[in-house]
């Protein structure tokens, strides 16, 4: 995949390239430096050429397009009639939770976790109940017993990221989670926005494919936006697994669907219907970048821990072995010209961590690690 040189990337208007001064390497927000997939470019250009920038007719053929993608990639049989669309995945989470809970109800999240989850729960009227992931020293997973205890104590919903952001983790405990949620009558919202980016040799399990219990309690929210780098086009999907959860989606205000962007809808259709070749290249690029990071850290920052993700392009860097980096290593990194996501914004479990975006060129990654190594003058005597 041909990645544009930095000077060209810096002409982009997205937050990644506008948030920091021009000498900073932006490896924070989850945007990719890759060129947009040709089918998506054509789909958007076709709508513009036709002066076709009105309201979307949604979901249109999105159900069938996503069902085809889910079947090809994960062997998951999605009922096309159970797919709805909205503005973005954040809105999908908020509106699903809003229907699933009453104001003030507890909603479980599993830190360290994508920071907006801490805001989306109260935006939906809920109260955050943290059940941190368990770490056995080599792998993370959901604390299903902890989630069960939270549900016993009254929490009414569980919001997971599957695959997990920032860890790129694929949980092995989704079946148990579904059982526990079904037992307590809780809804599980499974955010699967990173799922198209599962790495070679890894298996992604869609939550709704796990069991009848999962289909009874689960709503999947997703989009092509993360995997194809089209977040600015604004379209996301909500998928129900049962009559009860479909009724929940159909109980939303009509405006939730009406706010789907027409350009977003067509960009997502192009991605799901014609994006497989581009996606395979992108995943290979990410895997190479992750392997490169392993080597660069060993050479320049050997004290930093890194477990390569099983999916997506986020690297969760553990600086705790180097106390001079403090609770928020991203702060020191920024003073040396590298923008990372601060670990503590992912929850208290993120103290001493920072998140790095791997979807960049080899040159940018190498320069970033060199700058980080220079940012730690106290490391060497």
Ligand X SMILES: Cc1ncc(COP(=O)(O)O)c(C=O)c1O
C-alpha R_g of the chain: 20
357 binding ligand X? (CB under 6 A): no
Nearer to ligand X, 110 or 148 (CB): 110
> CA-to-CA distance for 99 and 103, rounded, in angstroms?
10
3-state DSSP of 230-269: CHHHCCEEEEECCHHHHHHHHCCCHHHHHCCCHHHHHHHH
Q: Contact 182/171 with Cβ under 8 angstroms? A: no
Q: Which stretch binds ligand X (CB under 6 A): 44-52, 62-70, 219-227, 297-305?
A: 219-227
Q: Which is nearer to ligand X, 225 or 257 (CB)?
A: 225
The count of residues interacting with ligand X (CB under 6 A) is: 14
User: Nearer to ligand X by C-beta: 89 or 376?
Assistant: 89
Site for ligand X in 235-254 (CB under 6 A): 236
Q: Is 30 in the site for ligand X (CB under 6 A)?
A: yes
Residue 285 interacting with ligand X (CB under 6 A): no
What gap in Å lies between CA 323 and CA 380, rounded to an integer? 13
Which residues in the 63-122 window bind ligand X by CB under 6 A? Answer: 88-90, 114
Q: Does 261 participate in binding ligand X (rule CB under 6 A)? A: no
Other C-beta atoms within 10 Å of 223: how many? 30
| 233 vs 342: CA distance, rounded Å | 26
62-74 vs 262-274: helix crossing angle, rounded to 10 = 30
We find the least distance from the C-beta atom of residue 204 to ligand X, in angstroms, to be 14
Report strand pairing: 218-222 vs 187-191.
parallel
Smallest distance, ligand X to C-beta of residue 85, A: 11
Q: Under the criterion CB under 6 A, does residue 27 sit at the interface with ligand X?
A: no
Is residue 324 within 8 Å of 378, Cβ to Cβ? yes
C-alpha of 69 from chain center? 18
What whole-number distance in Å separates Cα of residue 291 and Cα of residue 313? Answer: 12
* Per-residue DSSP letter, 337: T
Among 158, 193, 269, 338, indicate the residue that binds ligand X (CB under 6 A).
193
- Selected from 161, 177, 186, 358, the binder of ligand X by CB under 6 A is 161
Does 44 help bind ligand X (rule: CB under 6 A)?
A: no
Query: Which residues contact residue 134 at a Cβ distance below 8 angstroms, ignoring those fewer than 6 apart?
Result: 140, 141, 142, 143
Provide the minimum distance between the beta carbon of 36 and ligand X in the complex, in angstroms, as a whole number. 16
Q: How far is the CB of 192 from ligand X (least distance, A)?
A: 9
Nearer to ligand X, 30 or 170 (CB): 30
Residue 219 near residue 157 (C-beta atoms within 8 A):
no
Minimum gap (Å) between residue 118 Cβ and ligand X: 12
Q: Closest separation between CB of residue 174 and ligand X, Å?
A: 16
231 sits near ligand X (criterion: CB under 6 A)? yes
Question: In the complex, what is the shortest distance from the CB of residue 281 to ligand X, in angstroms, rounded to a whole number?
Answer: 21
Asked if 208 interacts with ligand X (CB under 6 A), we say: no
Q: Which residues bind ligand X (CB under 6 A)?
A: 30, 88-90, 114, 161, 165, 191, 193, 223, 225-226, 231, 236
């Amino acid at each position: 995949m041909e990645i544009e040189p930095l000077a060209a990337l810096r002409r982009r208007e997205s937050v990644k390239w506008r948030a920091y001064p021009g000498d900073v390497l932006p490896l924070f927000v989850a945007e990719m430096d890759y060129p947009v997939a040709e089918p998506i470019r054509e789909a958007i250009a076709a709508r513009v050429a036709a002066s076709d920038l009105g309201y979307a007719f949604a979901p249109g053929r999105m159900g069938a397009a996503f069902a085809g993608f889910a079947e090809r990639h994960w062997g998951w049989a999605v009922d096309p009639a159970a797919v709805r669309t909205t503005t973005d995945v954040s809105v999908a989470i908020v509106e699903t939770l809003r229907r699933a809970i009453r104001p003030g109800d507890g909603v479980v999240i599993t830190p360290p976790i994508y920071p907006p989850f801490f805001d989306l729960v109260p935006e939906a009227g809920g109260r955050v109940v943290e059940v941190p992931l368990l770490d056995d020293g080599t792998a993370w997973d959901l604390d299903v017993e902890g989630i069960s205890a939270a549900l016993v104590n009254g929490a009414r919903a569980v919001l997971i990221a599957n695959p997990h952001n920032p860890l790129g983790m694929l949980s092995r405990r989704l079946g148990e989670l579904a059982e526990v949620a079904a037992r307590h009558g809780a809804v599980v919202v499974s955010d699967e926005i990173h799922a198209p980016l599962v790495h070679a040799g890894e298996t992604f399990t869609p939550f709704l494919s796990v069991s009848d219990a999962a289909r009874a309690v689960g709503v999947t929210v997703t989009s092509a936006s993360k995997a194809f780098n089209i977040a600015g086009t604004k379209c996301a999907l909500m998928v129900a697994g049962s009559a009860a959860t479909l009724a929940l989606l159909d109980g939303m205000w009509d405006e939730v669907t009406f706010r789907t962007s027409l350009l977003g809808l067509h960009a997502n259709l192009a991605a799901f219907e014609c994006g497989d070749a581009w996606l395979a290249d992108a995943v290979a690029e990410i895997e190479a970048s992750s392997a490169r990071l392993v080597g660069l850290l060993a050479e320049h920052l050997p004290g930093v821990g890194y477990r390569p993700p099983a999916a997506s392009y986020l690297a969760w860097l553990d600086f705790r072995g180097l106390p001079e980096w403090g609770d928020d290593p991203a702060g020191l990194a920024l003073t040396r010209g590298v923008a990372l996501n601060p670990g503590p914004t992912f929850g208290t479990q993120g103290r001493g961590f920072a998140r790095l975006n791997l979807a960049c060129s080899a040159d940018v990654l190498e320069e970033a690690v060199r700058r980080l190594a220079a940012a730690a003058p106290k490391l060497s005597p």
